[in-house]
Structure 1
């Protein structure tokens, strides 16, 4: 009889726990938590987009979706939590704080239900969250949560934003923090002007909203990097932004919180995805302007959008249309790519998306979060059960307490003995710089813990198309390497020794699985 998968063993564990708690009024809260946790394990991973108010969260959400769905504005737009889930047709449901039944609304009402407005402020504040279902490919893997934003300690230039923060800043921060803590993973967005000290940025990572972040479930994203282009000394904003990210990523505070920090120009990514025929035609006519002349014009956005010039045949309103779509930096990139012969529209869009950094971010979401989604969700529900256990235990006695202790023991056994969770723990130690691994060993660790995929070929860093004989040979080689490494008691520290033993066991399990597959095939 084939060995049960982790998912099957966990399902059986939850079912046996539900059988034990069902019908026992003393354990009603425990039973409800078990049912909710089991359902969560079978749902897509919940990724919250979190950041300071005006960090560009809604634009980032649209960029990830590849279309303009979430309302955006010149000031912070999102008043409520928006949960985007997969659905074969667009729909919208409003969930209320007072627990009244959810209300179905027209999908076209999303903007009016999300943007703050004095006329319907009381109604907006009665909403707990808005559930949006939509047929978008990324929603097959993730539920994306657009949060209202965190109140900044730094002053904003906008009077209406300051007034808004005075009225609602703390309230929206509390909502955002709750969503961050309730999600399986977090993308933390932040801006960084060139005049802002790294120390100020690091301070943003020290609040409660990121207290539960770890390199396993959190990614930092430097946003609005296109604004760097307004500095005449900077010709490549993404290069400058990459340097900022690398510097921040090496800071101990950030290193303990985030898997990585990426720069992303979400405005450019969204604009590239949604470029219209008319805007393509405007761009095609703009490339007739000489580069020096065009750069001088574009560096001053008001001049680019408003002034008429006898030597420029493109009307100001047309230039403004393109600038609103792509941003200054985006227009500059599109102009240069088009002049250099980037080819057709598809190739131009592909190049702009690459410049924006959005594709790298999406790939990381899939490889780092998606391939480990079940494990990350499992860790979360095990942690939640511990909370319920400690809250319920003092109130119980007799048979009910005995049942709770039995369930807790079974859950603890999964947590401490399941090898895939042990692998994730050594990966956590690696991100926290506790392991003395060289480049090759690091590659093995990332592969075997699912960074490149969850099949045996990917875990062996061979890809999905490797044959069983090829995989067996590599698994055997790596098994012997890590067995030797784990026997080196004298020269490596305890954390590295534990990790090496875990790696040896990982390759032993892969080798056994492949051997079984080979025997089955050649029966």
Structure 2
């Protein structure tokens, strides 16, 4: 909406390059921060062991390129970024980066470390020509709370650096249920240097949501009810911007659907209903039992591995309901998996404020660099840093959002909810900020923004408004003014 944060951070980077031009180590840090500021938004996918991180990452990318087995590579932090040609680069803890072979097996990318032990690898970087990676760099992390302290420690070190910005700008955190360990991790994440940047930048995903209803066709409905309850949980709400239920396996397989998958579901759809239901009492029975004609045990085993019983039931129901081609079925399965809602949340909560999140990371990185620099050097940049943090409205919005979610402000509940929405806590587009439909006209947006501006002006001027809440009112007023300024001049005058 406004660009003072990104412009200010860029100016700080230029100033830092001049100050540290004779310090190669510090200059390397500044160049890394500059590249981060100019590159795509970085989102890490995190969660406990077997939460379904790699499967969900494949669903977001739209290709099966992240290994989902329990092999060596799932123990390594792996970056997926856009590249014109496929390339895999291994970055060892000691030594120079090396290229790994790019091979595929039945469409899936296969990783071979070439004899290098996983514990000796700092990270893998996969460059891939997927359109979804043009605006996002995704980072797959090993499972937290792994039986291996080395694996778990590697994730924690990456996600929770002690005195530096986290390498990702935001986190998608997967959980199968809301456990105390999930809350503890998100609290730790918020307490890092990155978390102290003054924003809640985690989105929770209730992964493997189809398992909540034991694979029944209405499983996602049950999962949505639970996700809504979690999103209002007093322990989780200050730590995550929302909770989205996703059937990860179905999301991945719907994005990579094959003609043979569609044909197999078509044969199942033609079976007698009672016979089909008996066949689908369990995954093992489904794979081993005979029938229907024309569908081998190997084909059924592949189908259940790729879609799960929930996905098969849903696919069959949709075909029986009239869907007649694999493209249409794939789109509908992806939508019903919860993937669409997740992608919408990523776009509205993270991508639309990518500049602000990247600018905050640059500021946190420069602050960490200055803490280790001689005082006379640090002083040259500290004043500029302080001015930017005090003046950049995006940073003030992010800080207010955190205060609102942690209950640190004295505002009536309905005002707190409205303030959170107006500063972008439920999405950063103008309609989302104003609680309007996505297709709202400029006239409707202008009227809503002007009404909000007038209402919050009255709140700020009310002598009964607590002094502690006045700063929040000023931030909300500035956000309303910014929304009006973002509209075409013809619609912003009342």
Q: TM-score, normalised by structure 1?
A: 0.81
CA drift at 1:408: 0.8
SS at match of 2:276: helix
Structure 2 equivalent of residue 352 of structure 1: 333
Alpha-carbon distance in 2 for matches of 1:468, 1:276: 42
SS at match of 2:74: coil
SS at match of 2:84: coil
Encode CA deviations 1:63-84: one digit per residue, 9 max, x unaligned: 1111111122267861212101
Alpha-carbon distance in 2 for matches of 1:384, 1:74: 34
Moved more, 458-467 or 220-229: 458-467
Moved more, 476-485 or 459-468: 459-468
Work out whether 1:179 is the aligned partner of 2:163: no
Structure 2 equivalent of residue 220 of structure 1: 204
Structure 1 equivalent of residue 141 of structure 2: 147
8 Å contact from structure 1 (residues 54, 76) kept in 2:
no
Work out whether 1:361 is the aligned partner of 2:342: yes
SS at match of 2:472: helix
Work out whether 1:253 is the aligned partner of 2:247: no
CA drift at 1:415: 0.6
Alpha-carbon distance in 1 for matches of 2:89, 2:358: 25
SS at match of 2:112: helix
Q: 2:459 aligns with which of 476, 485, 508?
A: 485
Distance 1:103 1:481, change over 3 A: same
Instruction: Compute the RMSD of aligned alpha carbons.
Output: 3.3
Structure 2 equivalent of residue 427 of structure 1: 401
Structure 1 equivalent of residue 55 of structure 2: 59
Structure 2 equivalent of residue 304 of structure 1: 286
Structure 2 equivalent of residue 504 of structure 1: 477
Structure 2 equivalent of residue 266 of structure 1: 248
Alpha-carbon distance in 2 for matches of 1:273, 1:189: 19
Moved more, 439-448 or 359-368: 439-448
Alpha-carbon distance in 1 for matches of 2:49, 2:112: 18
Encode CA deviations 1:205-226: one digit per residue, 9 max, x unaligned: 4674675458631011122222
Distance 1:199 1:467, change over 3 A: closer
Encode CA deviations 1:475-511: one digit per residue, 9 max, x unaligned: 4443222211211231x44554322222222333444
SS at match of 2:239: coil
Structure 1 equivalent of residue 76 of structure 2: 80
Moved more, 258-267 or 208-217: 208-217
Encode CA deviations 1:176-203: one digit per residue, 9 max, x unaligned: 11222322111111223xxxxx555656
8 Å contact from structure 1 (residues 177, 209) kept in 2:
no
CA drift at 1:6: 4.1
State the structure with more CA Rg: 1
Work out whether 1:292 is the aligned partner of 2:274: yes
8 Å contact from structure 1 (residues 230, 299) kept in 2:
no
Encode CA deviations 1:143-166: one digit per residue, 9 max, x unaligned: 1011122224xxxxxxxxxxxx3x
8 Å contact from structure 2 (residues 401, 423) kept in 1:
no
Structure 2 equivalent of residue 22 of structure 1: 21
Alpha-carbon distance in 1 for matches of 2:442, 2:298: 62
Alpha-carbon distance in 1 for matches of 2:418, 2:131: 29
Distance 1:348 1:469, change over 3 A: closer
SS at match of 1:480: helix
CA drift at 1:378: 1.8
Distance 1:86 1:344, change over 3 A: same
Alpha-carbon distance in 2 for matches of 1:76, 1:437: 52
Alpha-carbon distance in 1 for matches of 2:229, 2:355: 32
CA drift at 1:468: 7.0
Mind listing any 5+ residue stretches in structure 1 that lack a counterpart?
153-164, 193-197
Alpha-carbon distance in 1 for matches of 2:485, 2:79: 42
Alpha-carbon distance in 1 for matches of 2:122, 2:40: 21
Name the one with the larger helix percent.
1
CA drift at 1:47: 1.0
Moved more, 10-19 or 77-86: 10-19
Work out whether 1:71 is the aligned partner of 2:67: yes
Distance 1:218 1:306, change over 3 A: same
Distance 1:365 1:406, change over 3 A: same
Structure 1 equivalent of residue 132 of structure 2: 138
Work out whether 1:325 is the aligned partner of 2:306: yes
State the structure with bigger RCO (CA 8 A, min sep 6), 1 or 2. 2
